[in-house]
Amino acid sequence: MEAARRVQSTSPSAREMRRLAWLLDESIRLPGGYKIGLDGIVGLIPGVGDAVGLAASSYILFRARRFGIPRVVMARMIGNILLEALIGAIPVLGDLFDFTFKANRRNMALMEQYLVDERQVRRSSLGRLLLAAAAGLAVFVLFLFLAFRLIQWIWNLASV
């Protein structure tokens, strides 16, 4: 089984995915050795750039599913892409985040780690998803609390 997984990770499909991740995240070398990719460059185009980057990143996900990557790991990979897309939509700050976060490289590393150690990657992916869900719930509850307090404040102003 382990040998079959190693063969899978060196298949032409895996090499194509690695190449696309490299192109999107690390293909342009800057002075000082830092690397950026086309995803960050295209993301500078307002509106269209982030959508193009999201589509290219989704292709890697589509191909990863063919390697038998489980849903919990795929959800973590989707989370990486969505995080990059959501923060990337913020002008200037988002573009800097795009250049540094490198969701495609992270997703390829996750896929390759899964092919080596299924159990550990499943466990860490589940933990991160539960943490993200808890953080999302906390933000939602905070939003509800603030909305309630705002309504209460407006009500009190109207009552006076």
Instruction: Please state the pTM of the whole predicted model.
Output: 0.76
Q: How confident is the model at residue 49 (pLDDT cuts 50, 70, 90)?
A: confident
Residue 1 pLDDT > 50: no
Per-residue pLDDT for 145 more than 60?
yes
CA 81 vs. chain centroid, Å, equals: 3
Q: pLDDT (tens digit, 9 = 90+) per residue, 5-46?
A: 543 556 778 888 999 999 999 999 999 888 999 888 888 888
Inter-residue contact 89 to 138 (CB < 8 Å): no
| Cα–Cα distance for residue pair 39/42, rounded to 1 Å | 5
Write the pLDDT tens digit of every residue in 62-112: 888 888 889 999 999 999 999 998 888 888 888 889 889 999 999 999 999
pLDDT-derived band at 54, boundaries 50, 70, 90: confident
Residue type for position 132: A
- What pLDDT, on the 0 to 100 scale, is given for residue 7? 39
Residue 100's Cα: distance from chain center in Å?
12
Q: Which tokens is 94 given?
A: 């988002």
Q: How far is the first Cα of the chain from the last one, in angstroms, to the nearest whole number?
A: 74
72, 129 contact by CB (below 8 A): yes
Q: Which pLDDT belongs to residue 10? A: 63
Angle between helices 48-65 and 71-88 (to 10 degrees): 170
Q: What are residue 47's phi and psi, to 5 degrees?
A: 80, -65
Q: What is the Cα–Cα distance from 78 to 15, expressed in whole angstroms?
A: 20
